[in-house]
């Protein structure tokens, strides 16, 4: 996986994190909204506060899960990048060895053809 691909994944995770935070904030604000009920302001206030706390906890859980997934993805990406570097080095060494062998064969054939 190349560096631009890694950066793209990290940007996508950042956007996902922002969406989760925005949804959590919206839920928090929705819980604080007024109602049509006239059965007592303190009851509605308590319900709104409980809903807001619940929404906050849900948002915090979502944020934590997203953070963990982002960390896992970063680790996986680092491993893939390290593995690809090793494979690239191996392929480069193989290509160099093959080129050297081809050069030796060409020298031998040239010596056979030149009297």
pLDDT tens-digit map of 24-47: 776 666 666 555 555 555 567 788
Res. 81: pLDDT tops 70 = yes
Q: What is the mean pLDDT of the chain?
A: 76
Read off the pLDDT of each residue in 96-108 and give the average, rounded to a whole number.
Answer: 85
Higher pLDDT, 63 or 87: 63
Round to whole Å and give the CA distance between 53 and 68.
Answer: 22
Range of the domain at 57: 3-113
Closest by CA to 56, choosing from 95, 25, 88, 90, is 25
Res. 83: pLDDT tops 80 = no
Environment class of residue 55 by beta-carbon count within 10 Å: exposed (0-12), middle (13-18) or buried (19+)? buried
Compute how many other C-beta atoms are within 10 angstroms of the C-beta atom of residue 10: 14
52-69 residue pLDDT tens:
888 888 888 888 888 888
Report pTM.
0.40
pLDDT of residue 43: 66
Percent of the chain with pLDDT over 70: 80
What is the total count of domains within the chain?
1
Round to whole Å and give the CA distance between 47 and 44.
Answer: 5
């Amino acid at each position: 996986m190349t560096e631009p691909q890694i950066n793209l994944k990290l940007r996508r995770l950042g956007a996902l994190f922002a969406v989760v935070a925005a949804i959590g904030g919206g839920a928090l604000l929705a819980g604080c909204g007024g109602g049509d009920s006239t059965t007592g302001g303190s009851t509605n206030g308590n319900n709104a506060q409980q809903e807001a706390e619940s929404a906050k906890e849900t948002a915090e859980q979502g944020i934590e899960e997203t953070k963990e997934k982002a960390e896992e993805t970063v680790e996986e990406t680092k491993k893939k990048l390290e593995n690809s570097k090793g494979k690239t080095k191996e392929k480069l060494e193989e290509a160099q060895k093959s080129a050297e062998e081809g050069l030796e064969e060409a020298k031998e054939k040239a010596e056979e053809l030149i009297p």
